[in-house]
Each structure stands twice: as structure tokens, then as C-alpha cells.
Amino acid sequence: MLMKMLLMKLHRKSKDIAGDRCEIRYAEVVREATGMITEAETEVSDGEQELADAKEELEDGWEQLADAKKESCRRPDGACRCENAGQ
């Protein structure tokens, strides 16, 4: 009878330890996942900023191209060479 009581007590204790360990592991997993999410959010934010910068640079390039085309069309007297090109 004493042996059975000791076994039951040991069994309850092992369940308590298993439950505690499960809670500890759960907290570790949540902490790791939260860190990974934070890191991913930072990467997304950085990527969005990089994309915005690239779009701005591209727009500047298109403006420079348009300006260069306008300048290449001008004659020394300021008139546009393109206007009379078809005549």
C-alpha cells in the first residue's frame, strides 16, 4: 500500500513538472516567434523605404531624360529642330 501511495505521489509530481516545463517551453517559443516577427517587420519596412527611394530615383531619371530630349532638340537660336523636321 505504501508503495502504491508513493507511486501515485511520484506520478502527480511528474505531471506537475511536465506542466511547468510545457509552460516554460511555450513562453520560449512565443518569445522566439515574437523576435522573428519583429525582425520581419523591420525587413519589410526597410524594403518599403528602399522601394520608395528607387521610385523617386526612377522619377528623377525620367525627368532628366525628358529635359535632355528637350535640350537636344534646341537649335542655337532657341528654336526647336523637331518642329520643322517633317517639312
pLDDT tens, 32-60? 999 999 999 999 999 999 999 999 999 99
What DSSP string describes 9-52? HHHHHHHHHHHHHHHHHHHHHHHHHHHHHHHHHHHHHHHHHHHH
| Amino acid present at 31 | R
Q: pLDDT band for 85, please (50, 70, 90 cuts).
A: low
**Residue 37 in grid coordinates:** 516577427
Q: pLDDT band for 6, please (50, 70, 90 cuts).
A: confident
Residue with cell 537649335: 75
